[in-house]
Structure 1
């Protein structure tokens, strides 16, 4: 799964990278501790162009009467994406890319202590997570999104059994619906060697923590 991540790329650099028109109300960066329900940076396509826009991280199906009317849907499993009532329409028509620099996962000690890890692309490039989105609410609709997850790659499975869907640049157009049909074939774990990771300090266990030190490798000892 993906329950927390970091984004450090400047907004204008994100817009250039994805050849997208940036919105005027994008979330501030850097943010080393993006949490569920926060606004996140999302690339979506339509009307022949891409847009970089803010969306609430936490997908709200149209039948929710309030934002807390059901489970908090921050992730959507690739294996059931096309079947789940909450996601099946978005899977066909409203796929998007959630931009990140890295994400956090946790292991547990025998004593139950949570140990955080920071996971990122080995080549230093930003991460493009496959996502789905949905406008929620009749008056002043709010755009909301969820990150698609797959089974973990062999390396990441030593930390967690699930991971976000990581898209390569050559796949962005297909995922966004610009290159026709066939996006389902992209819903696979990242290739081995794509991601790297290191232990970080337990400060990030708090959703109120902030600062670049959250992603710094934990000193041995």
Structure 2
């Protein structure tokens, strides 16, 4: 499960980190410490020749869906069943993306209730979640470009908080994932594994993150 994450790295950092050649205008770039489902998220897509940075709505709407509301239930896609699920099968082969982030949140069940944790790379560098995207057209002609974050089993660091985690790709794997010509699911499946636990930092944060209305740098501050 991944239901909340952050993106506060600068526009210039993202452009350089993901080798972006075509992008939204810098004035349209959004920084957030509490990104929630149904919001617009920054994503990288390769059009066959270059990496493009744009926005997708978080919550996958299959092209065949009758109503856009289905997207509210499809924020994540399990890596183990991508090749089987009707909703994701086509996108897995043809419409993959990187969803840009620099931390995400998970909640641990404890006696005092659910406690939020921030999970990021020890290097504090931004990274890309493996994602899928789709375009949906309503009967009235409205077009929505949406996405889902792929999840896998948690690594040792994250498993102390939750049994699932988003797939974070290594830099070396990103080109393969974004390559629209690569459609061999056996190769793609090998990319969808837990990130190296030794490179991750996991720590408790304020319960203020529970509400998407709260959005400030203090949400990622370590407590306790």
Shared fold, TM over 0.5 = yes
Structure 1 position 192, deviation (Å): 2.3
Cα root mean square deviation, aligned: 1.8
Verify: 1:30 aligned to 2:31, yes or no.
Answer: yes
Structure 1 position 55, deviation (Å): 0.2
Structure 1 position 105, deviation (Å): 0.3
In the alignment, the residues of structure 2 paired with residue 57 and residue 26 of structure 1 have an alpha-carbon distance, to the nearest angstrom, of 21
Structure 1 position 24, deviation (Å): 3.2
Structure 1 position 199, deviation (Å): 0.5
CA displacement 1:122-158 (0-9 Å, x = unmatched): 1221121000000111524211000000000012101
Q: What residue ranges of structure 1 are gaps of 5+ in the alignment?
A: none
Task: Please identify, of 80-89 and 3-12, the stretch whose mean Cα deviation from structure 2 is larger.
Answer: 3-12
In the alignment, the residues of structure 2 paired with residue 69 and residue 129 of structure 1 have an alpha-carbon distance, to the nearest angstrom, of 21
- Indicate the residue corresponding to 2:110 in structure 1: 109
Match of 2:210 among 205, 209, 214: 205
Verify: 1:4 aligned to 2:13, yes or no.
Answer: no
Q: Which 4+ residue blocks in structure 1 deviate beyond 3 angstroms?
A: 24-29, 178-181
- Indicate the residue corresponding to 1:128 in structure 2: 128
Structure 1 position 26, deviation (Å): 7.7
In 1, are the aligned partners of 2:11 and 2:26 still within 8 Å (CA)?
A: no
Q: Residue 59 and residue 7 in structure 1: after superposition, are their counterparts in 2 closer, same or farther (change >3 A)?
A: same
Q: Residue 26 and residue 6 in structure 1: after superposition, are their counterparts in 2 closer, same or farther (change >3 A)?
A: farther
Q: Per residue, is there more helix in 1 or in 2? A: 2
Verify: 1:214 aligned to 2:219, yes or no.
Answer: yes
TM-score of the two chains, using structure 2 as the length reference = 0.91
- Indicate the residue corresponding to 1:59 in structure 2: 60
In 2, are the aligned partners of 1:26 and 1:41 still within 8 Å (CA)?
A: no
Q: What residue ranges of structure 2 are gaps of 5+ in the alignment?
A: none
